[in-house]
Structure 1
Amino acid sequence: MDSVRMDKWLWAARFFKTRSLAARACELGRIETNQQPAKASRDVRVGDSLKVRNDSGEFVVEVLGLSEVRGPATVAQTLYHETEESKERRMKMAEAFKAMPQYESSWESGRPTKRDRRVMSRFRGRG
């Protein structure tokens, strides 16, 4: 096996939960191969450099192996090697996200009461 479709490889390497999500990410331009936007049908070969943007962050990886089937996570991790710069950048982003203040709802019971809605209306300048 010399090459595998981009969407299949991304799915097998567990960057996306489904193959259709991987194909959609390619359509939206979230996948780059060798500094060029990649289509879902493009072939991935060993040695290619990929830039993958998903919900977990931005990964810059080098392809080490090919697979068309989704296996265990331990096998999926052997298909690529993430660059050190990419790891550091993701760690910094995670720390920045943790440092952001988290806002929680003040209504512990669920829906706001009539009194709470009146307070919100006054706050918004409607009453």
Structure 2
Amino acid sequence: MRLDKFLKISRIIKRRSVAKEVADKGRIQINGKLAKSSSDVKIGDNVKIQFGNKTLEVKVTELHESTKKDDAEKMYEIVSETRTDSAEN
């Protein structure tokens, strides 16, 4: 499944266009490698996303073509969630 579609369906990022923009700016890694919006996501992959002053790392547990809100959270498990102070930037 494409990275931008996974982020939208799992509801990590609400819109696919935003997910594409974040990926294309080099803020997402899959298994430690820089990822584009078209990168392939598989079960077991670690996805690290940089949002402003927050970094979210999740492990892909399920892939679905579409989901209900309750099922979206089952598509991933949070590995870590860290905040960086603006003083460090």
Superposed pair shares fold, TM > 0.5: yes
* In the alignment, structure 1 residue 33 sits paired with structure 2 residue 30: yes
Residue 13 of structure 1 and its aligned partner are, at CA, apart by 1.0
* Identity within the alignment, %: 34
* Aligned match for 1:79, one of 75, 80, 85: 75
Residue 55 of structure 1 and its aligned partner are, at CA, apart by 5.5
Q: Distance in 2 between matches of 1:60 and 1:54?
A: 11
Where does 1:54-73 land on structure 2 (aligned, <5 Å)?
54=51, 57-72=54-69
Q: CA RMSD in A?
A: 2.0
* Structure having the larger proportion of residues in strand: 2
Where does 1:3-14 land on structure 2 (aligned, <5 Å)?
4-14=1-11
Runs of 4+ in 1 over 6 A off after TM superposition: none
Pick 1 or 2: higher relative contact order, CA cutoff 8 A, min separation 6.
2
* Structure having the larger proportion of residues in helix: 1
How far does the alpha carbon of each residue in 1:72-112 deviate from its partner, in whole angstroms, 9 at most, with x for none?
1x2111001111xx24x34xx6xx7xxxxxxxxxxxxxxxx
Q: Distance in 2 between matches of 1:22 and 1:5?
A: 11
Q: Which runs of 5+ in 1 are unaligned?
A: 97-127
